[in-house]
Amino acid sequence: MSVRPFYWKRRDLLILDQRQLPDKIKYLRSESPTDVATLIRAMAVRGAPAIGCCAAYGMVLSVQLGPSHPSFSRLVESAKILKEARPTAVNLAWALDRMILMAKSHEGVSRSRLTEILLKEAKKIEAEDFENNKAMGRAGAALFGKEAVILTHCNTGALATAGHGTALGIIRELHLQKKLKKVIVDETRPYLQGARLTAWELDQEHIPHELITDNMAAHLMKTERVSAVIVGCDRVVANGDTANKIGTYSLAILAQYHEIPFYVAMPLSTLDLSKKTGMEIVIEERPSEEVVTFAGKRIAPKKTRARHPAFDVTPGILITALITEKGVVKPPFGENLRSLRGRQRRPEQSYEIASSLCSSQ
Ligand code: MRU
């Protein structure tokens, strides 16, 4: 992908305004953590890993703007503003905790030194996400033979990450390995991430795809050959329950009924072992306005209010496997996820310390 969802330039963060895609490619400049939080909340940038990366750069902006002797409490305040931008995707809190821990271990250094240290850490988070996506792509592609037909939901591609993508990264890898027949893309009402973003990414790379409205999935599963559903995730908890874009849960039920494998592409930055079940996940409720209008035009009576939960939780029992950068995790998820986290470089405990410094979601 030649278009990047965000990039750091000299002293600023530039964020691609995804609300204007596929019509326009326009970058918005952020000069403060509040600018970044505003763009995350307004969904100019979206997708769990991408908002985590942008928030990390937001912390660099916070130090740059601050006093010559950086104040740790000011940094914690900036992290809080960024964390509150969107509550469901754990990557946001995860990246901020990592930045806070880094700052804590360098307390007392000058503004320019801390800027340097945090910029290096933000770039590392971004680079790791890219590499992890590539590894997930390879692990996921190994699950398929030739002529795969993959149904996917929302946008999990280069636009939602530091590049390449999670579920869409697996699809890209399948295409590269000539194992992909086509992708069926859910339009993903109401924000249309499938129609506006996923179809756009696939089109750019000439990857065969067909767009469907969300309510066509059951019919296609019944009347055509669908090899698997692959989706991304915003938070996977200890028992494998998975929060992802609204509509994911119904796809998982449909997949089970039609005996189609249901895979979740999960970078370890999306794993939250502090929560036992999906019941504990906070689901973001977005404005009614985003449902009662379509392309700027009202489609429901003036006084009608709509519900707009932006995510739902798919029970772990409906998930065939979680595809991670460390390999494919099969049920029982409770046990297998715990041992996977145990093998990670950074102990879970460090995140708990950071979270207590900066009350995590
Ligand atoms: O509301 P969004 O567009 O941020 O939701 C995005 C999703 O639900 C994605 O599936 C998820 O973040 C994974 S992206 C690799």
Q: What is the mean pLDDT of residues 314-336?
A: 97
Residue 234 DSSP one-character state: S
The predicted structure's pLDDT at residue 114: 97
Q: In the prediction, which pLDDT does 341 show? A: 76
pLDDT of 339 > 90? The answer is no
Flag whether pLDDT at 361 surpasses 70: no
* 246 within ligand 1 shell (Cβ under 6 A): no
- Report residue 361 as tokens: 């979601």
* Mean pLDDT calculated for residue range 74-90: 97
Query: Is the CB of 160 inside a 6 Å radius of any atom of ligand 1?
Result: yes
Residue with tokens 């940038």: 45
Q: 175: which 2 tokens? A: 């295409």
* pTM across the whole model: 0.95
Find out whether the beta carbon of 269 lies less than 6 Å from any atom of ligand 1. no
Question: What's the 156 CA to ligand 1 centre distance in angstroms?
Answer: 6
pLDDT of residue 216: 98
Region 201-207 average pLDDT: 97
Which residues is 271 bridged to in the sheet? 236
pLDDT value of position 3: 83
Mean pLDDT (the chain, rounded):
94
CA 150, 151, 152, 158 torsion-angle sign: positive
pLDDT tops 60 at residue 19: yes
CA 129, 208, 322, 82 torsion: positive or negative?
positive
Checking if the pLDDT of 205 tops 80, the result is yes
- Segment 174-196 mean pLDDT: 98
Pocket lining: 49 vs ligand 1, CB cutoff 6 Å: yes
List the catalytic residue out of 97, 234, 272, 312. Answer: 234
Burial (CB count <10 Å: 0-12, 13-18, 19+), residue 97: buried
What are the tens digits of pLDDT across the range 285-304? 999 999 999 988 999 999 99
- Residue 96's φ and ψ, nearest 5 degrees, are -70, -40
Which residue in 298, 228, 296 sits closest to 262, CA to CA? 228
| Residue 110: per-residue pLDDT | 96
User: Which pLDDT value is given to residue 353?
Assistant: 46
Three-state DSSP class for 311? strand
Contact 263, 140 (CB under 8 A): yes
Percent of the chain's residues with pLDDT above 90: 91
Q: For 141-160, what is the mean pLDDT?
A: 98
Helix 33-41 vs helix 72-83: angle between axes, to the nearest 10 degrees?
Answer: 10
Separation in Å, CA 24 to CA 16, 17, 70, 221:
10, 9, 38, 34
- Residue of 15, 164, 234 best suited for mutating to test ligand 1, as the one with most atoms within 8 Å of CB: 234
Q: Would you tell me how many other CB atoms lie within 10 Å of the CB of residue 72?
A: 15
Q: Tokens in use for 355?
A: 């979270």
Residue 141 in this model has a pLDDT that exceeds 50 = yes
Query: pLDDT tens digit string along 307-318?
Result: 999 999 999 999
Tell me what the mean pLDDT of segment 48-58 comes to.
98
Query: Which of 6, 91, 154 for a ligand 1 pocket mutation test, highest count of atoms within 8 Å of Cβ?
Result: 154
Catalytic annotation on 234? yes
- Give the number of the atom of ligand 1 that is nearest the alpha carbon of residue 165: 15
Provide the 3-class DSSP secondary structure of residue 80.
helix
Q: Return the best residue to mutate from 164, 193, 323 for the ligand 1 pocket (most ligand atoms within 8 A of CB).
A: 193
Could you tell me the sign of the dihedral formed by the alpha carbons of 176, 179, 184, 186, in that order? negative
- Statement: residue 12 has pLDDT above 60: yes
Going 286 to 287 to 288 to 292, the CA torsion angle's sign is: negative
227-255 burial: b if 16+ Cβ within 10 Å, else e: bbbbbbbbbbbbbbbbbbbbbbbbbbebb
Enter the tokens of residue 190: 């109401």
Q: Identify the pLDDT of residue 1.
A: 56
Residue 357 has pLDDT above 70, yes or no: no
pLDDT of residue 343: 62
